[in-house]
Amino acid sequence: MTRQRLLLPLVGITLFVGAWGAAVLLTGTRLVPGPVAVARALVELLAHGLLLRYVVASLFRVTWGFLLAAALAIPAGIALGLSRRGEAAANPLVQVLRPISPLAWIPVAILWFGVGDLAAVYLIFVASFFSLLVTVIRAVRDVDPVHRNAARNFGLDRRRMVTRVLLPAILPQLIVGLRLALGVAWLVVVAAEMIAVNSGLGFLIVDARNAGNRYDLVVAGMVMIGATGLCLDLLVRRLERLPNVSWGFSS
């Protein structure tokens, strides 16, 4: 089973790369580079020290924006989930702000923070915060009232009820929310780097396009965006295997 799980993705990737190379070769197009040209572009970026530098720059912004959003959204979501009045008061504002695309905040971010890392971190924070907040509120609401009543019967105060009852109960839903929010954050950082900063994988794509239409570098940047996003998702998915969490996921 383990060998099959490793082999099938490799087969899928191999077939895709083969079809990609064959399509470029048969059509003779110069607009879309082939796999070999993209591989050479990746080697070129690596040789100049740009590949690792841009990946690290993007990860730096995502890490700070995402962690800040999680640090605020999780406790706020628990508090609102426990208080019907608080949720009723905050819900209209959340539902107004949540549908606004994070990209719509780019002019505001540049106005407030200028062109640089802070603007990108702010955009990632906005993109992650509201989705996480709604996930946590819903997860707390879905906890069986029997668990809360049992905690009260055993004399647990609010803090211990949250740490010993609510958090373990909402962890499966919380991890799914974290995965979704991280995916959105990674999308937003690439878009923000095309406008608000001068480094990172998003900047690499725009800079390569402007520098003589280096589409091999453009596609190389796209490949690195996808590969890094896959690694981030696999990293978060490993949390699902923790003993206190795996019970919430079907085998």
Tens digit of pLDDT for each residue in 13-51? 888 888 888 888 888 777 788 888 889 999 988 998 888
Helix (H) or strand (E) holding 17: helix 2-27
Is residue 52 in a domain?
A: yes
Tens digit of pLDDT for each residue in 84-107? 888 888 888 888 888 888 888 888
Q: Tell me the Ramachandran region of residue 212: left when phi exceeds 0, alpha when psi lies from -120 to 50, beta otherwise.
A: left
Total domains, the chain = 1
216 vs 208: CA distance, rounded Å: 8
Is residue 240 in a domain?
A: yes
CATH of the domain at 82: 1.10.3720.10
Is residue 132 in a domain?
A: yes
Is residue 17 in a domain?
A: no
The DSSP 8-state label assigned to residue 231 in this structure reads H
Is residue 2 in a domain?
A: no
Is residue 192 in a domain?
A: yes
Is residue 171 in a domain?
A: yes
* Full domain range(s) for residue 146: 36-246
Torsion of CA 13, 17, 20, 21, to 10 degrees: -170
Q: Give the 3-state secondary structure of residue 33.
A: coil
Is residue 26 in a domain?
A: no
What is this structure's pTM? 0.83
How far is C-alpha 116 from the chain's CA centre? 20
